Amino acid sequence: MMLSSLILAAAPAVSAPAGDLLAIRARHLATGTGETLEHAVVLVEDGKIVTVGEDLPIERGIPVLDLDEDAWVLPGLVNAYTRYGLGGQGFSDLRPYIQAADEVTPATRGSIMSMSKYGVTTAALYPAGRGVPGQSVVVATGPTPDGDMVLRRSAYLKALLSNDSTSKRNLRDGFKEADAWLDKEAKNREKYDKAKEKAEKEKDADKKKAELAELGEYRPLPPDMKGQAFLDLRAKKIELLASLSKAADYLHFLDALGKEEVNWHLRLSLSTECDLFHVKERIGEKGAMVIMEPEVTLHPATMRQRNLPAEFHRAGAKLVLIPRADSSAGMETWLRDVGVMVAAGLDRDAAIQGMTHHPAALLGVADRVGTLEVGKDANMVILTGDPFEAGTKVLAVMAGGSVVFGEDEL
């Protein structure tokens, strides 16, 4: 590979004012939108993508990074469900106010940022614990154009659901806490309005002025710590992520949710003999986003293998793939493990989107990351070959327009 200045006589399709510019030319580039470009050019300026397309001439004087013919470029990978670099056991009850963002400290920052060498440029860290343990935070694992590591402080509220009364009660109690606050707030407002109405009827002007001044503007009651997260769910400021491991858990989740209208996604934990295929059609009909590992499972009581990621994709669910293990080893083999699922029938584009665009959308940061499109952060992974070939390795990683891994290889 070489870094050079390309001079073309033809009218330039890629042009920009002088500045911090870099053009990258790749034989294969997957945008994360479901499209793969051949002979692609990406122009990066100030940490953002300003142009992307096929066979584009480049303006005289712009530095060009020419990649090898076998190399592939993907959007920076997005790990939507991890505690990499964090410790702690958490709790097993209703604590929706816990923020994983509070665990992002100078002591954990280095470990979190080390994910970038595996191609992970964006990650959602969730709080430890069971029950309803709290809210996830979305972080960048490398530089960003605006310099902020935290992309979204509260992304999803995690809830572990199973077919028992305790987990259902945790979810229902959260909404009850929100209702209790709304009831108190309504009574508090009614009391204020009556006091204000009485003051406004006061005939003595000085006394009226004093009473209204004492009342001041209405001040809502501070929400209960538990109830606020569920109020935010209803207001669609955050999403609900329900973690399930059995088909029956999904039915109990819907029962616990009742008539609540909130945005929700599913974390489907795959075990050796997983029966979640029983509800794939129902989940797919809703177009739900499902987080799962690239794991081959067995049909219960048989040796028949099942490719549940492929099955859920075909049923209409939006696939969000995560490493098989929440560890360095898991991230190192992530692409290879997804490749196994592709070889077994998972659609290639769905696999790429499941590691890039879909998790970014689930986390509410798709306006910045997850695809290689104009205006997005310049996050990309450069691979030695086809993403899903066993021998392919991460050659280099760019985050926010800066090479954070593999600079010597370019």
Buried b (16+ CB within 10 A) or exposed e, 167-188: bbebbbbbbebbeebeeeeeee
pLDDT tens, position by position, for the chain (410 residues)? 433 333 232 323 333 334 579 999 999 999 999 999 999 999 999 999 999 999 998 888 899 999 999 999 999 999 999 999 998 888 889 999 999 999 999 999 999 999 999 999 999 999 999 999 999 999 999 999 999 999 999 999 999 998 788 889 999 999 999 999 999 999 999 999 999 999 999 899 999 999 999 999 999 998 888 999 999 999 999 999 999 999 999 999 999 999 999 999 999 999 888 999 999 999 999 999 999 999 999 998 888 999 999 999 999 999 999 999 999 999 999 999 999 999 999 999 999 999 999 999 999 999 999 999 999 999 999 999 999 999 999 999 999 999 999 998 88
Domain 76-172+225-370 has CATH 3.30.1490.20: no
Would you say the C-alpha torsion 240, 242, 247, 248 has a positive or negative sign? negative
Strand order in the sheet with 77-82: 77-82, 120-125, 137-140, 150-152
Give the CA distances from residue 241 to residues 86, 135, 171, 279, in Å, rounded to whole numbers and listed in that order: 20, 9, 11, 17
How far apart CA 205 and CA 201 sit, in angstroms, is 10
User: Could you tell me if 170 and 93 are in contact, meaning their C-beta atoms sit under 8 angstroms apart?
Assistant: yes
Domain limits, the chain: 76-172+225-370
Instruction: State CA 262 to chain mean position distance.
Output: 17
Select from 275, 291, 283 the least CA-distant residue to 361. 291
Q: Which residues of 350-368 are buried (b: 16+ CB within 10 A; e: fewer)?
A: bbbbbbbbbbbbbbbbbeb
d(Cα 11, Cα 57) in Å, to the nearest integer? Answer: 8
SS3 357: helix
